[in-house]
Every structure is written in C-alpha cells, then in structure tokens.
Amino acid sequence: MKTIDELLSEGVAGKRVFVRADLNVPLDGTTITDDGRIRAVVPTVKALADAGARVIVASHLGRPKGAPDPAFSLAPAAARLGELLGADVAFAEDTVGTSAETAVSGLADGQVAVIENLRFNAGETSKDDAERAAFADRLAGLADVYVGDGFGAVHRKHASVFDLPKRLPHYAGYLIATEVGVLKKLTDDVRRPYVVALGGAKVSDKLAVIDQLLGKADRLLIGGGMAYTFLKAQGHEVGISLLQEDQIPAVKEYIERTEKNGVELVLPVDVLVAAEFPDLKTKAPANPTTVAADAIPADQEGLDIGPETRKLYASKLADAATVFWNGPMGVFEHPDYAEGTKAVAQALVDAPGFTVVGGGDSAAAVRTLGFDENAFGHISTGGGASLEYLEGKTLPGLAALED
C-alpha cells in the first residue's frame, strides 16, 4: 500500500488530489456535536495543500436515499474543515455536476474544495457494479490522484471507496495508515495480557469478532445491552432488559469455548436497573437501583453496569499490555447511567499498555464524558471497520488501496 508520504515525495503541486475522507459527523440540525472525524483528516488535507495540491475532499454523511436531502448536507462539515485548516474551503452543492466542476476548476494550487454528500448519488452505494462504475468514472474526471483517508468507510464496497481508486493513482492518507498500523498491533503483534472490553446494544453485532478473539485475547469483558443475552444464556432472569433470544444458543457455545480456550470471560456482577428507559432529551433524573446481575426483577431493565462491576472491570484492565474497547457499558448519554462507561474509559487511561478505543459510540463516549483524547493510545474513527478488520474480513477500501 503506497502512502501519502510517497505521493508527496513525487510532488503534487498543481495536481488535483481527490481525498476520500470520513466527515460523517453527528449533527443537531446544522450544528456538529462531535467533530472528531473532521479533525482526523486535517493532517492529510493540510499536507497536500501545503505541498501545492488542489485538494478535493469527498465524504458521505448519514443515510440519504440516493438523492439530495438538506438534512444530510456536508455544508456544516465543510465549514468546520475550513476553520480547522485556517483557510477558505469552497463547497460544491453537488457531487459530479456543474457546481462540483466549477468548484474544482476554480481551485488554485494549495486550495481545498469539499463536494456534496456522495450518497446523494445512488451510484455511490449501488450493489450494481455498472452503476457504481459509472459514478466512479465521473468522480475520476474531477481528479488526477486518489488518496483514501476515510477509514470509517473502508468496509463498504462503495464507488468512492472501492471503484474510484482503481481509476487513478492511489495512496493511503495518514489516518488510514495509522489505523491499519494500530489494528496490526491488535492482530499480528500483540503484547500480553491482551484484554478486550465489548459493550453496545446488540450481541449479534459482536459475535463474529468474539469468535476471532477467542483465539487471541486473554480476557473478555462484556457490558452494555449485549451483556443481558450472556446473562440469560447462563440461566439468569434479565427482566425487560435488551435481549436477543435468537442469539442465546451461539452465546452458550462461546461461553463454553472461552473455558476450553483459556480465555477469561468476565460478566457483570451487578447492574443498575429501572422500570423504563431514561429520557435522553431532558436528562430527567432516572433514580435507578442497583441489583445483583443474577437478580434483576422481572419488571426492570438493566441500563448500566453497577459499582462492583466497575471495580471488577478496572481490576481486570489494570495490568493489560494491550486493550481494545468497543461499545459503551450502559446508556452513557444519560448521567445516571454513564458511570460504567466512564469507569472503563478511566481504566484504559490508567492501564500501563497500549489502549485502543474502537470508534463509534465508544469514541463518542470518551469525548462526551470529557476525557483527554491524548490519554489513550489510539481512538479509532471507524467502529464497524475496526470490528470487521478484527474479524479477519477483507475490507474493500483497503484492498483497493493495496492493488
């Protein structure tokens, strides 16, 4: 895989460089609530602009249905990128139409333009190879060189991620190079003890990565909504907690395999419960109670790990040489259910080894809860991409860059 450093050494002054970024940031109307993904691509964009390239930044945002939708416009992201670069950034109101062509043709050396949400064109996400190829051909007409730096999208076989690199000289940006290097430390060059903490809502989202980790990790800590399927698989009452009944057989098998493989499986010993899900808009007090994990009342819902579990998980992370964490331990968006996620994050900060926050809600939680990002070894920008890499899958966007 060629990197941006090789491209810069070859010279980019005057060249049109297409940067496939990941500007898929959360929005409250037109207000960005977490700009982490924009900040992550700034080093690549700045290096190219400083070297005299004419930089075209492209990304998706949200899930529009293949047509323009103002709710998913990249205009706020383009404005924020300009603020971070300290320079004007042109914005095209389409992807491959007149506005994009005008914005790109108007670039001088060292200037940057952002084109509108790639998913406003149905060809970006189409499962029809010909439709994707046609869109990739039009995108290729905007540029001379391709730089892939949208790690959060590399697990998607989309036109700008998979098809476009085949049409232009292609290189990996700084973010992708960093992400791949980190993931190799979690798969090929692991320092032990290797501890993995998994949370989030659905156990089905994590089964494939658990399957792989059973041959690699030393300890596996389970929290979040997915923990209740594990507790149910052990025969415990979980009340009205989030539960995937259809996954219980698979979970029982994995519990057996952890014992056979010598992997220490750590589940909650106590949880915070309430009769109903909290109001995340008003953040009204929820008044939860703490119960043993094997004694959840039938009319109660588990919403966070309890104080004894927080201590337990912190102790299991205390000597870790390598840590991967993906998924919050509870409904961290509400202050009454944030302590479990906060405790795991703090344990990563305190751990002596290399710590990786696996993107998605985990990365959002770290920022929401006020942690210094530099206190972690790495915060990934791609939750789904990170998990699929750890599952051993071939990621289309990385395969295209390696070609």
| Catalytically annotated residues | 37, 202, 360, 384
| Cβ contacts of 193 within 8 Å, gap of 6 or more | 218, 219, 319, 320, 321, 322
| Cβ contacts of 12 within 8 Å, gap of 6 or more | 48, 51, 52, 53, 145
Q: Which of these, 179, 187, 151, 177, lies nearest to 322 by C-alpha position?
A: 187
Nearest-angstrom CA–CA distance, 207 and 209: 6
Q: Which helix (H) or strand (E) holds 172?
A: strand 170-172
Q: Which segments of 16-53 are extended strands (E)? A: 16-20, 27-28, 31-32
Coil/strand/helix, residue 45: helix
Q: Which of these, 351, 397, 395, lies nearest to 377 by C-alpha position?
A: 351
- How far apart, in Å, are the Cα atoms of 158 and each of 20, 123, 155, 394, 396? 11, 8, 9, 14, 8
**Residue whose token pair is 């071939």:** 394
Asked if omega into 76 is within 30° of 0 (cis), the reply is no
The residues facing 221 across adjacent strands are 197, 266
109: Cα separation from own chain's centroid? 32
